[in-house]
Amino acid sequence: MRMPEPGSLPRRGREAWRAGVSGAAVSGVTGADVAVVGAGPVGVFLATALALRGLDVVLLERRVGERRHSRAIGIHPPSLAALERLGVLDEILRRGMRVDRGVLRIDGQDAAALEFARVPERHPFVITLPQVETERILRARLDALAPGALREGFTVGRIEALPGRVRLHAVAGPSAVDARLVVGADGPLGVVRRAAGLGGTSRAYRHRYVMGDVADETDDGATAVLHLNPDGIVESFPLPGGVRRWVTHLPEQHEQHGTCGSSHRRAAEDDDGARAAARLADLVDARTGIRIDPATTTMTSEFGVRRAAASGMARGRMLLVGDAAHEVSPIGGQGMNLGWLDADELAEIVPEVLRSGRREPLVAWQRRRLASAARAARMAEFNMAMGSPCGPLAFAARRLVVAGASGPLLAGRLARAFTMHGL
């Protein structure tokens, strides 16, 4: 006789089911429908989406407390729709900065504009908000739906496959979690991907960039601006609180091969933050004529880029989302959004997968999501190519591309591409 599904039982019955599945008679073992490993923005989104559907979920995070680095800032229209389904969009809109247009600028003159209102989305605009703020909003929503689901300070060590479940053992102490499904949102070097044996491909690019959040003294307001220059692109994005994020290509002597960890960002504490801020200010000045005040810099970071993809996103009872499954260049701000879209679609099918035991929905899901990641990676490569240092002839060709972008047909297509429409 088939065991009743936990979502159909009253709370007391669900507790008894968890005890039966997890072998909770074993000291320190607790059970859940789904265990999510990694409480970054993608992991906490997925845990919240699963809790919203009535599933028992546990979110395991080795760190304690929030990360202060502002990191990802752009929230694109498809993600805004997903966040609305999660019940947090109003708070995102209240705290964030709404960006309705982007401008391509050459020699201080606007050469083309991308109007995001052209995008056929429910929310045809981009919201900028520091990642730390976004994570606070998501964590509060998870805590309201499933108090105690987040377990900080839990470092997953050994992962053990058992009949009908997976057991995740903590590195320290006897604690363990049993779950019918385990989802790795813990990056490409995470424990879930290793345990699942999902290899993949990886390609590091030679380009390196520097970015910083600086007091906004421009007249650009809520407009995103891309300054094209033969020595390297300069991007600037408005942030709440009168701050602007600046990103620019580092000169060749700063470029190097290799990778810099799962997010490819190395905070500049070890490179003297003041010197890094001054270097960013000098590069922005030389390439745009705009002088930013390095003394107002609240964050400076250098990062390299790579493209990577796992060989799959599902094996047995172990799944991957976000950077654990695919990485794209952060130029274009797609990585966090891709992970959210992975999680949003996965949360829709997990209840049915748990009820029926069918694998077909997961196979179709991983095929769609890896295809979306590949399209995003190609867009990121286009962005990097358009912004890399070049000679006079190549820059003249880029001017022609920008001139074409000012036409209504191409401008609409670029606006959809830059806002991740269709991913």
> What would the 3-class secondary structure string for 7-49 be?
HHCCHHHHHHHHHHHHCCCCCCEEEEEEEEECCCHHHHHHHHH
Q: Determine, yes or no, domain membership for 382.
A: no
Give the total number of structural domains in the chain.
Answer: 2
* C-alpha to C-alpha distance for 89 and 308, rounded to whole angstroms: 30
Looking up residue 37, the CATH number of its domain turns out to be 3.50.50.60
Q: Give the range of the structural domain holding residue 287, as residue numbers without chain letter.
A: 74-130+202-307+387-418
Quick one: 119 and 212 in the same domain?
Answer: yes
Quick one: 161 and 58 in the same domain?
Answer: yes
Quick one: 182 and 242 in the same domain?
Answer: no
Strands 234-239 and 200-215: unpaired
Q: Determine, yes or no, domain membership for 372.
A: yes
Quick one: 191 and 225 in the same domain?
Answer: no
Full-model pTM: 0.88
What is the reported pLDDT for 205?
87
Residue 415: how many CB atoms within 10 A of its CB? 21
Quick one: 234 and 288 in the same domain?
Answer: yes
What pLDDT tens digit does each residue of the chain (423 aa) get? 233 333 333 333 334 334 334 334 455 789 999 999 999 999 999 999 999 999 999 999 999 987 776 689 999 999 999 999 999 999 999 999 999 999 999 999 999 998 998 888 999 999 999 999 999 999 999 999 999 999 999 999 999 999 999 999 999 878 999 999 999 999 999 999 999 999 988 898 888 899 999 999 999 999 999 999 999 999 999 999 999 999 999 987 654 433 333 334 444 344 567 888 999 999 999 999 999 999 999 988 888 888 999 999 999 999 999 999 999 888 777 889 999 999 999 999 999 999 999 999 999 999 999 999 999 998 888 888 888 999 999 999 999 888 887 777 667 777 887 788 777
Looking up residue 238, the CATH number of its domain turns out to be 3.30.9.30
Taking alpha carbons only, the member of 371, 372, 325, 321 closest to residue 349 is 321
Quick one: 194 and 315 in the same domain?
Answer: yes
Query: Facing residues of 161 across strands?
Result: 166
CB distance 131 to 71 below 8 Å: yes
Quick one: 224 and 295 in the same domain?
Answer: yes
Query: Facing residues of 43 across strands?
Result: none
Q: Determine, yes or no, domain membership for 138.
A: no
- Which stretch of DSSP H or E encloses residue 162? strand 156-162
What is the reported pLDDT for 272?
63
Quick one: 221 and 286 in the same domain?
Answer: yes
Quick one: 327 and 232 in the same domain?
Answer: no
Alpha-carbon torsion (365, 182, 344, 259), positive or negative: negative
Quick one: 329 and 279 in the same domain?
Answer: no
* C-alpha to C-alpha distance for 66 and 83, rounded to whole angstroms: 20
Residue 385: how many CB atoms within 10 A of its CB? 12
Quick one: 373 and 392 in the same domain?
Answer: no
* C-alpha to C-alpha distance for 19 and 21, rounded to whole angstroms: 6
What is the reported pLDDT for 172?
83
